[in-house]
């Protein structure tokens, strides 16, 4: 999200309109909005008399957050649970390579998250999690592994805090 610095010219002075990351307490445009930000700058102190042209300046800078506002896509494949109690779970995400996907597992499908893992998006948007070798960030994998009807949820969150989740639930046949 941008912070805008002034731009313009005045006799003997110059100003440049630049976009900067917003710092704590800063203002930024609302998500899913595009347009222009107009900034007025008033100079209130200089050691010498202020030339008339330097008393105030305005600049306009474009901003666009529409694409960034969309939540990322995420998929999950849990069919491996049917044949393997400690499977490799896989899925895809529209997040960039290196971004985390949070995997939560309700081992007995009672509505309570029992395990949490982080998987990393690889090139091409693919992520995977080997339940047998990965260490959960919370919870303990049961010694027997997961039941075939464990509820597995993958959540992807973009840099703007927008997230999407998908749940895989295998019901025994």
Which ranges in the chain belong to alpha helices (H)? 66-69
Give per-residue pLDDT as tens, 103-147: 999 998 889 999 999 999 999 999 999 999 999 999 999 999 988
Say if residue 92 is in the same domain as residue 150: yes
Does residue 56 surpass a pLDDT of 70? no
Which class for 127: exposed (0-12), middle (13-18), buried (19 or more C-beta within 10 A)? Answer: buried
Q: What is the CATH number of the domain that holds 131?
A: 2.60.40
Structural domain that includes position 37? 2-69
Rounded to whole angstroms, the Cα distance separating 53 from 32 reads 36
Least confident of 60-69, 94-103, 121-130: 60-69
Say if residue 84 is in the same domain as residue 145: yes
Residue 74, domain member (yes or no): no
Say if residue 22 is in the same domain as residue 102: no
Say if residue 119 is in the same domain as residue 37: no
Q: Among 14, 41, 69, where does a domain finish?
A: 69
From residue 130, how far is each of 74, 78, 80, 81, 155 by CA, in Å?
Answer: 18, 12, 11, 12, 17
CA 151 to chain centre: 24
Say if residue 62 is in the same domain as residue 83: no
Say if residue 59 is in the same domain as residue 83: no
Does residue 14 surpass a pLDDT of 90? no
Does residue 157 surpass a pLDDT of 50? yes
CB 25 within 8 A of CB 51: no
Choose between 2 and 14: higher pLDDT: 14
Say if residue 102 is in the same domain as residue 141: yes
Say if residue 108 is in the same domain as residue 164: yes
Rounded to whole angstroms, the Cα distance separating 21 from 16 reads 16
Rounded to whole angstroms, the Cα distance separating 17 from 127 reads 40
Say if residue 26 is in the same domain as residue 56: yes
Q: Among 69, 100, 115, where does a domain finish?
A: 69
Question: How many domains does one find in the chain?
Answer: 2
Non-local CB neighbours of 7 within 8 Å, separated by 6+ positions: 15, 16, 17, 18, 57, 59, 61
Say if residue 60 is in the same domain as residue 97: no
Residue 117, domain member (yes or no): yes
Say if residue 44 is in the same domain as residue 88: no
Residue 143, domain member (yes or no): yes
Rounded to whole angstroms, the Cα distance separating 65 from 80 reads 38
Say if residue 121 is in the same domain as residue 157: yes
């Amino acid at each position: 999200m941008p912070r805008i610095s002034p731009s313009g010219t005045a006799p003997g002075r110059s100003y440049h309109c630049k976009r900067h990351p917003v710092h704590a307490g800063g203002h930024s445009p609302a998500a899913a909005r595009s347009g222009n930000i107009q900034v007025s700058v008033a100079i209130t102190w200089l050691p010498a008399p202020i030339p008339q042209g330097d008393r105030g300046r305005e600049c306009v800078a474009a901003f666009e957050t529409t694409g960034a506002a969309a939540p990322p896509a995420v998929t999950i494949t849990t069919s491996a649970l049917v044949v393997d109690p400690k499977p490799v779970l896989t899925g895809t995400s529209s997040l960039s390579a290196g971004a985390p996907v949070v995997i939560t597992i309700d081992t007995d499908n009672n509505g309570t998250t029992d395990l949490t893992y982080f998987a990393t998006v690889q090139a091409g948007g693919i992520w995977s999690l080997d339940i047998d070798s990965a260490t959960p960030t919370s919870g303990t994998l049961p010694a027997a592994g997961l039941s075939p009807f464990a509820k597995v949820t993958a959540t992807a969150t973009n840099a703007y805090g927008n997230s999407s989740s998908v749940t895989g639930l295998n019901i025994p046949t």
